[in-house]
Amino acid sequence: MTQAPARPKSERRRHDREIIALAVPAFGALVAEPLFVMVDSAIVGHLGTPQLAGLGIAAALLSTAVSVFVFLAYATTAAVARRVGAGDLPSAIRQGMDGIWLALILGLAVIAFTLPTAPWLVEVFGASGTASPYATTYLRISSLGIPAMLIVLAATGVLRGLQDTKTPLYVAIAGFTANAVLNVALVYGAGFGIAGSAWGTVIAQCGMAAAYLFVVVRGARRHGASLRPDAAGIRASAQAGVPLLVRTLSLRAILMIATAVAARLGDVDVAAHQIILSLWSLMAFALDAIAIAGQAIIGRYLGAGDADGARRACRRMVEWGIASGLVLGALIVLARPLFIPLFTGDPTVKDTLLPALLVVALSQPIAGVVFVLDGVLMGAGDGPYLAGAMVVTLAVFAPVALLVPALGGGLTALWWAMGLMMTVRMLTLWLRMRSGRWVVTGATR
């Protein structure tokens, strides 16, 4: 990578303002997403243990299905941001519409698969005889909202590409509020039980999708962009998403392997692992918000043909990632006496948790660089490299993690393996950044 010239303070401040303006609302929207399941769990939990267990199984299946298609947001952000940078707003919105049409097609396909196979999916997931009927009911009803959920992903990508992360935050807050009100009304007011919770979530998700479509369609009409499905454009959106799908599946495999290894270590270890994983996910939301800003900003710079500006913005975001990682790591260490009792009162779990938690804290600066560079390369449309790098990371992590129980290691050893995974990701992404091959300018890559 060509050495970027020294940057005046005014340019750094401009980059900082852009990053903050995009990252802070993005963080709020990201945090709002898991709150849907938390609200459902809190409300359904009062119906009984079988109902709560059924909800947990169905929610895990649904979140897995939706997370697989997160490329709808990532790929759309990069493609739209490039066209925004090139000054072609009609084309940017047209590209976004192609992503939304793809989301609808994929959502309908998921419904067609889930409705008839719901009982089998629940059984494969290991549901008990008492929880299975509730899990099946919730899964079948909630699957009707998957097209709306995928449309929300794609439309979020459109708005991020247009440098707007505030609207997704407002929609997420409204959706969360509607979901909570509808769940209480349908579960207890109407007496529908767990089915009421599922219908409340579906209605809230459809309302969110409608709000997004209203904003995007209004923009399309204002700029004269076509709303009709375009086969070539939808196909191009799908092709751009395939490498990111490979990346996402590889990352999911890493997390599944880590959980499976923790389970083999024993109940205490897996309980401590779940606590750490929850905290790790929360830290990831904060760092992912900077990555989202990176996707939008880098795509815009490259679309405008400003390669030097893209490099300088990348460098500043890496500095943000390192600083954020240091702050998050320090918070984990300093706040551990406050948050650990919220999760467990078992002294054995606490003793197992603490050393592994320190490993997580030490790895946060590395995670900061990883998330930022991931966002930069997504914004550059460098999906094939990201896919290959994640497959390499999986190939390194899997044997190391699987050796942990065989060699007598515990949870701390497993999280050192997770730290190794993040280090490998950082090295692969850093090498790509330094090479400069991701810097491809123009409205399309």
pLDDT of residue 255: 87
CA angle, 170 then 282 then 28, to 5°:
10
45 vs 180, more confident: 180
Q: What six digits make up the tokens of 141?
A: 């009803």
Amino acid, single-letter form, for residue 203: I
Amino acid, single-letter form, for residue 79: A
Q: What six digits make up the tokens of 300?
A: 């815009």
- Percentage of residues of the chain with pLDDT beyond 70: 98
Count Cβ neighbours within 10 Å for each residue of 87-114 and write b for 16 or more, e otherwise: ebbebbbbbbbbbbbbbbebbeebeeeb
User: What is the distance, to the nearest Å, from the Cα of residue 147 to the centroid of all Cα atoms in its chain?
Assistant: 17
For helices 71-85 and 231-265, the axis angle rounded to 10 degrees is 130
Q: Residue 3 has what DSSP assignment?
A: P
pLDDT of residue 12: 83
Q: What does 366-420 look like in DSSP terms, one character per residue?
A: HHHHHHHHHHHHHHTT-HHHHHHHHHHHHHHHHHHHHHHHHTT--HHHHHHHHHH
pLDDT of residue 2: 46
In the predicted model, what is the mean pLDDT of residues 79-85?
Answer: 94
pLDDT of residue 213: 96
pLDDT of residue 432: 97
pLDDT of residue 401: 95
Confidence check: pLDDT of 400 > 50 = yes
| pTM, to two decimals | 0.88
| CA distances from residue 37 to 201, 259, 271 in whole angstroms, order as listed | 9, 20, 20
In the predicted model, what is the mean pLDDT of residues 397-415?
Answer: 93
Confidence check: pLDDT of 345 > 90 = no
- Percentage of residues of the chain with pLDDT beyond 90: 67
pLDDT digits (tens, 9 = 90+) for 101-110: 999 999 999 9
pLDDT digits (tens, 9 = 90+) for 307-324: 999 999 999 999 999 999
pLDDT digits (tens, 9 = 90+) for 251-279: 989 988 988 888 888 878 888 887 888 78
Q: What does 128-175 look like in DSSP terms, one character per residue?
A: -TTTHHHHHHHHHHHHTTHHHHHHHHHHHHHHHHTT--HHHHHHHHHH
CB atoms within 10 A of CB 322: 16
